[in-house]
Amino acid sequence: MQDEQLEPSPEHANRLTDALRRYWGFDSLRPLQRRAIAAAMAGRDSLLVMPTGGGKSLCYQLPPLIDNRLDVVISPLISLMKDQVDGLNEVGVPAAAIHSALTPEQRRDIYSRIHSGKLRLLFTSPERLVGERFLSMLQALDIRRFAIDEAHCISQWGHDFRPEYRQLAMLKERFPHATLHAFTATATPRVRQDIVQQLALDTPEVIVGPVDRENLVYRVVPKVDVERQTAEVIARHQDEAVIVYCISRKETENVAAWLAQHGIEARAYHAGMDNDERRRVQDEFASEKLNVVVATVAFGMGIDRSNVRCVIHTGLPKSIEHYQQETGRAGRDGLEAECVLFYSAGDALKWESLIVKSAADAPDPEPVIASARQHLQDMARFASAPACRHRVLTEYFGQRYEKLNCGACDVCLEEIDTIPESTVIAQKILSCVARVEQRFGVGHVVDVLCGADTENVRKFGHDQLSTYGLLSEMPRKAVMAFVYQLLDQQVLARSGGEFPTLRLNTASVQVLRGEREVKLVRPPAGTRKQTARAQADMTGVDTQLFEHLRQWRRTVAQNRGVPPFVIFADTTLVHLARIRPTRQATLRLVPGIGEKKASDFGNDLCVQIATWCKQHKVATDQLQ
């Protein structure tokens, strides 16, 4: 199905480059963008799988500009359509969206633009598209290309199945002369196959990009005191966007409240909140009035803010697919971003019991449980094995990973902090399990080890045991984390049932006899090393000027009623703060500034930069 040679014709190539420069201010297309666009220009159906930040949108935005036609883009959410239309209007491409939130005047205006022949991109939802009147209008307009964004929504194997997407199956029948172009960041072969089948794509050009997100730094940190640990990570990202993902609604509220008490402005977001409240949080986050959102996975697809610099998981995601999806919201602009997962095997055990409970009502629970368990185990292995995170993720999605050291994960950056006396601590824990005769759960064993004065400790006379208070110099949460690590490494076992008790196994005995070593890890202390990539990103950049420009962007965005990332991506601000142009000629060398933006903001920017640089005695117009 793949045709490596597919390239835009020389004539198209020139016009593409012109449009890319003129509208977007970029110099060249990325290789996969070229292929996807070549397919569209050649009248071939296509499916492009490329991770978030790969640049999928240009692939459907450019072709109608070259052909001077109107193309239709199908998108699942109004907020996504709005961001796209705002972005296109800011670069001067005539685009509009038809959706349920329009006023009658707005609607009339859009229809008249459609019929004037000047519009190039029309966004709409699948449910609106399939309305008979709308369809007839599109047929009368002789639409030749449909782009289907977030195409994984059509597949029930995807993470975001939307039944409305199924209706798109009729596109091929109703528009036999049109080509379809599907776009998604979801990499699994099953979803891909489903998209091709459901849309009835005709010998499509299937383009699958690398799944690895090179600009993400992955860290998995033992969970000890999750609120405090979360606050520490957020402190590394002052004035930057951070999403904290929690498992439950309650937890989002607790964590947000804890952060607020400790001086970090954060808001909770979950599906239990009313619509207005949710929209408010989302809008504040998009407009950079709010930087930290503590959310369940309900905070997801509509989040287009491209400069999310950090995604934190306070609990274990259900699967690697979920993890990839959620961390995928970081660093869409291509600049470095951090993903921190706070891990405890206790979370995996909690999920495990939830899986069984929630599958209990299914007509045939066994396969459901087996599949959920497999996903969970894969996720837990990712978190617990000290292997390069980029490699594990890439290989999970069936691709090869070539680098020996990614330079962008806690393992490769050698941040894993193994405790020197690990085996001794393990022996203390295991002998305590033996002393309480393997009849108690994690909580009680930890109480005994920490020398706690609880009712049960007194009742069973466990304050008389030789292991009582043996680890009392450590915080309770740390001891708890170690017990879970031992469970994870299977040198300690747990009974099933409603009140699981800790049990010894053959491996435990080996550890107790000193025949087997154990490695326990603790959260690394101190500051994190800067990665080579972050250094490269910021070389020559005046960070104070960058902050000043962000402030300027916020004001401009507010005045124009659009989110800041629609005005300029952070990458453009970084270039501005490096080159520091004070003349239009220099300004146009900055990637991300096309003709319209240069004319709308150029003079203002040049004045801003000149004034700032003069005040701070910094050289301007650095062309090297």
Binding string, residues 54-73; x marks residues near ligand ADP by CB under 6 A: xxxxx---------------
In this complex, which beta carbon is closest to Zn ion, that of residue 255 or of residue 412? 412
Among the listed ranges 192-200, 319-327, 338-346, 385-393, the one in contact with Zn ion (CB under 5 A) is: 385-393
Binding string, residues 287-306; x marks residues near ligand ADP by CB under 6 A: -------------------x
CB of 492 to ligand ADP, least distance (A): 43
In this complex, which beta carbon is closest to ligand ADP, that of residue 6 or of residue 255? 6
CA dist., res. 410 & res. 595, Å (int): 42
Backbone angles phi, psi at 236, to 5 degrees: -75, -10
CA dist., res. 390 & res. 114, Å (int): 45
CA dist., res. 249 & res. 227, Å (int): 15
In this complex, which beta carbon is closest to Zn ion, that of residue 385 or of residue 424? 385
User: CB under 5 to 8 A by kind: which of ligand ADP, Zn ion, none does 56 bind?
Assistant: ligand ADP
Among 412, 445, 448, 593, binds Zn ion (CB under 5 A): 412
User: CB under 5 to 8 A by kind: which of Zn ion, ligand ADP, none does 412 bind?
Assistant: Zn ion
The three-state DSSP-derived secondary structure of 383-394 is HHCCCCHHHHHH
CB of 329 to ligand ADP, least distance (A): 10
To which residue do tokens 């005709």 refer? 202
For Cα atoms 378, 533, 150, give the angle at the middle one, nearest 5 degrees: 50
Binding string, residues 332-371; x marks residues near ligand ADP by CB under 6 A: xxx-------------------------------------
Backbone angles phi, psi at 409, to 5 degrees: -150, 160
CA dist., res. 597 & res. 588, Å (int): 10
In this complex, which beta carbon is closest to Zn ion, that of residue 405 or of residue 505? 405
H or E stretch at 116: helix 104-116
CA dist., res. 295 & res. 284, Å (int): 14
Backbone angles phi, psi at 371, to 5 degrees: -70, -45
Structure tokens at 524: 């690394």
Q: What separation, in Å, do the N-terminal and C-terminal C-alpha atoms of the chain show?
A: 44
In this complex, which beta carbon is closest to ligand ADP, that of residue 54 or of residue 315? 54
Cβ atoms within 10 Å of 184's Cβ, excluding its own: 24
Among 52, 75, 296, 508, binds ligand ADP (CB under 6 A): 52
CA dist., res. 67 & res. 70, Å (int): 9
User: CB under 5 to 8 A by kind: which of Zn ion, ligand ADP, none does 333 bind?
Assistant: ligand ADP
User: CB under 5 to 8 A by kind: which of Zn ion, ligand ADP, none does 406 bind?
Assistant: Zn ion
User: CB under 5 to 8 A by kind: which of Zn ion, ligand ADP, none does 564 bind?
Assistant: none
Q: How many CA atoms lie within 13 A of 319 on its CB side?
A: 15
In this complex, which beta carbon is closest to Zn ion, that of residue 120 or of residue 390? 390
**Amino acid at residue number 362:** A
14-33 residues in contact with ligand ADP (CB under 6 A) are: 26, 29-30, 33
Binding string, residues 166-205; x marks residues near ligand ADP by CB under 6 A: ----------------------------------------
In Å, what is the CA distance from 125 to each residue of 87, 89, 144, 325, 482?
18, 19, 18, 22, 50
In this complex, which beta carbon is closest to Zn ion, that of residue 304 or of residue 410? 410
Report whether 323 contacts 245 (CB < 8 A). no
CB of 126 to ligand ADP, least distance (A): 18
In this complex, which beta carbon is closest to ligand ADP, that of residue 347 or of residue 570? 570
406 touching Zn ion, by CB under 5 A = yes
CA dist., res. 375 & res. 337, Å (int): 25
User: CB under 5 to 8 A by kind: which of ligand ADP, Zn ion, none does 29 bind?
Assistant: ligand ADP
CA dist., res. 176 & res. 199, Å (int): 12
In this complex, which beta carbon is closest to ligand ADP, that of residue 426 or of residue 590? 590
- Among the listed residues 610, 612, 609, 576, the one whose alpha carbon sits nearest the alpha carbon of residue 591: 576
Q: Count residues near ligand ADP (CB under 6 A).
A: 18
Residues forming the site for Zn ion (CB under 5 A): 388, 390, 406, 409, 412
Residues forming the site for ligand ADP (CB under 6 A): 26, 29-30, 33, 50, 52-58, 306, 332-334, 569, 591
